[in-house]
A and B are shown apart, each in its own frame.
Chain A
Amino acid sequence: MKTSPAAPRAVPRQRTLPWRRRLARDRAVLLLALPGMAVIVVFQYLALGGNVIAFQDYQPYLGIERSLWVGFENFQILFSGDPEFLNALRNTLAITLLQTVFVFPAPIVLALLLHSLVSNRVRQVVQSVLYLPHFLSWVIVVAVFQQVLGGAGLLNNFLRAHGWQPVDVIGNADAFYALITSQVIWKDTGWATILFLAVLAGIDRSLYEASAVDGASRWRQTWHVTLPGMRPIIVMLLILKLGDSLSVGFEQLILQQQAVGLGVSDVLDTYVYNQGVLGGFWGVAAAVGLVKGAIGLVLVLVANKTAHAFGEEGVYRA
């Protein structure tokens, strides 16, 4: 591995060298990259090849090689209006809509609030507390909510002790969307402020000074300086959210399906898991997964283009 000092390595790019020489020269770099690249290539890219079973009547004991090819049959089953699939699709869209309306703005509001705190000490303490739930697993979050809101939970014990009616939240299909929305808010709002706070700290102070000279109040400054400063990051996150709009809280939902039933809690991801891994309808499940992934990709590209049309940076520029 020793190199003679006479041969300068790597840094100045020498395009004139033939590729074999460059390969030989940089083989140590490539060797270092190899194990990590292998994991990414196998579990991200080669895994994509598994989608071919969407076109098969896949049987695990036959494997991909010997399962029968059935063309688009698996897709036909879906688009002929399988009620379970339609239910999962409807729930997915409903939950995505709820999350965009209630979950997405929460960290923006909280970040504005934290940013406006004068005392650094207070801000740091509050941040430490509110970031914490992000690092708890969904199993723990669901368990905590059960303990607090369940039939024998903190809230209902309190209500009963004071002679009030207990509320029925856990396992109640009517309250399910409110429950999962508040779980997401509880878990991730604090953590999500981190990006917004960084952007807020980066807004040019002279804009505030200039607007104060022009007589702007705190509220008008928020409206005319702070929010416009945050617009690019908000647009970017909305685009990413749109691309993800068909994947809603998989772990969160699968943990709670038993309690409320599939009627309200089945979404596309859980449908894929239940149909494929548990139900043995591998082909159909893979077809749903494939369509879902393709739509997600298209959504990101379209949203990105739309953002450009409105003069925003978006996520990337091709």
Chain B
Amino acid sequence: MSTVTTTRQTTGRGGTPRARGTAPGGRRRPVVDGVALPGPFERTVKAVVLTVACALVVLPFVGIVSTSLATPEQVTEAGGFVLLPTGIDLSAYRMIFAGGVVTQALWVSVVVTSVGTALSLALTTTLGWALSRRGAFGVRAMLLVVLVSLLFNPGIIPSYLVVQRLGLLDTLWALIVPTSVSAFNVVVVRAFFVRLPAEILDAARIDGASEWQLFRRIGLPLSKPVLAVVGLFYGVGYWNAFFNALLYLSDASRWPLQLVLRTYVVDGAQLGSQDLGIDAASLPPQTSLQMAILVVSVVPVLLVYPFLQRHFAQGMLTGAVKG
């Protein structure tokens, strides 16, 4: 990436191209790194395509946030979706946070996501560290076991039977333990540990550091960026997980947010004041409540996204290339 981006940065947007050349066919166009700059037609087409693509991603969210904030009258009048709210009304949010089904599900999701991410990081880093100790007893065999597990998926029924056998059905552990170690993330973390300079580890070893101390004092602090990415990937995974809950939990009081979202937004079940744990004579329109739930489930992802985004290309590609 570096050579391309740096040369482009110096020549981008109206700057003087470093190397000028002549495109064939009589058309004179500046050439950068052997590629002619695009003509006006091509640039217009690209601008239109990308603007439309971005709008298709952004507009639905604007609509969802607007509808969740709009006044009940406006939502009823619009027959559902509002793109620009005329007034702000937070009653939909007040109601879903009043302690009913949605509040409870939000709690479940927060607990599962934080406990799950912590456990996943602990298991993934320790395993990744061990697998980076090339030449140690059993490491080659274990690495093979991890890599081969990437190639297959045991299937729905066998997974269900294991969870059942371990007595995890209808517990929140069923949402955490089965997906707590991603072989892919282990490979990514291991790739980072393998690249740590051997001199540092040797020096520490000569000073009498134990394996645990090497891992804790050197391995972990030096790999913070990759741990951030892997942690965020796990976190987003737990937050978004929907099918595990459907499969393993029959008790609705333990539902995470995604299942509540499915029941009341996708399937359109009516949220009554009983479900919300309030006694109100008049509820905001269902659409407002639905959109508020949707916003609440998207916001955490949006909050971590900027952090995630800074690192993920790096994190993803290390695993892919160096695996």
- What is A's interface to B at a CB cutoff of 8 Å? 1-3, 5, 9-13, 19, 22-23, 25-26, 28-30, 32-33, 35-37, 39-51, 53, 60, 64, 110, 113, 116-122, 126, 128-133, 135-140, 142-144, 146-148, 150, 152-154, 157, 186, 190, 194-195, 198, 201, 205-212, 215-218, 221, 247, 250-251, 254-256, 258, 269, 272-273, 276-277, 282, 285-286, 289-290, 292-293, 296-297, 300
SS class, residues of chain B in contact with chain A: helix
Report which of A36, A51, A255, A276 forms a contact with B123, defined as CB distance below 8 A.
A36
A26 in contact with B54 (CB, 8 Å): no
Smallest CB gap from B39: residue in A: A218
Query: A32, A51, A194: which has the most chain B beta carbons within 10 Å?
Result: A32
SS class, residues of chain A in contact with chain B: helix
A133, B240: Cα distance in complex, Å: 12
Q: Can you show 11 pairs from A to B with CB atoms below 8 A apart? A: A5-B206, A11-B135, A12-B135, A23-B137, A25-B137, A43-B177, A45-B145, A136-B298, A140-B261, A211-B34, A276-B157
Report which of B21, B129, B154, B316 forms a contact with A47, defined as CB distance below 8 A.
B154
A147, B312: Cα distance in complex, Å: 30
A218 in contact with B162 (CB, 8 Å): no
Smallest CB gap from A39: residue in B: B181
B34 in contact with A209 (CB, 8 Å): yes
Report which of B1, B13, B49, B78 forms a contact with A118, defined as CB distance below 8 A.
B13
Task: Judge whether B138 is part of the interface by a CB distance below 8 angstroms.
Answer: yes
A208, B128: Cα distance in complex, Å: 40
Known: A36-B127, A135-B305, A139-B242. A28 touches B261 (CB 8 A): no
Tell me the minimal C-beta distance from A157 to chain B in angstroms: 6
Query: A23, A39, A117: which has the most chain B beta carbons within 10 Å?
Result: A39
B34 in contact with A205 (CB, 8 Å): yes
Smallest CB gap from A148: residue in B: B60
Interface string of B37-72 (1 = CB under 8 A from A): 110001000100110011011111101100100000
Tell me the minimal C-beta distance from A282 to chain B in angstroms: 7
Interface string of B299-318 (1 = CB under 8 A from A): 00110010011001100110
Contact size range, B: 35 or more
A43 in contact with B34 (CB, 8 Å): no
Known: A277-B156, A286-B158. A130 touches B53 (CB 8 A): yes
A195, B317: Cα distance in complex, Å: 8
A148 in contact with B126 (CB, 8 Å): no
B126 in contact with A269 (CB, 8 Å): no
A11, B201: Cα distance in complex, Å: 10
A273 in contact with B156 (CB, 8 Å): yes
Could you tell me which residues of chain B, from 258 to 279, have a CB within 8 Å of some CB in chain A? 258, 261-262, 265-267
Besides A37-B145, A147-B80, A201-B5, 7 new A-B residue pairs in contact (Cβ under 8 A), listed by A number: A11-B198, A39-B181, A47-B161, A205-B34, A218-B36, A256-B266, A277-B156
A25, B69: Cα distance in complex, Å: 63
Task: Judge whether B247 is part of the interface by a CB distance below 8 angstroms.
Answer: yes
Contacts of A29 in B (CB 8 A): 130, 133, 136-137, 139, 211
Contacts of A37 in B (CB 8 A): 127, 142, 145-146
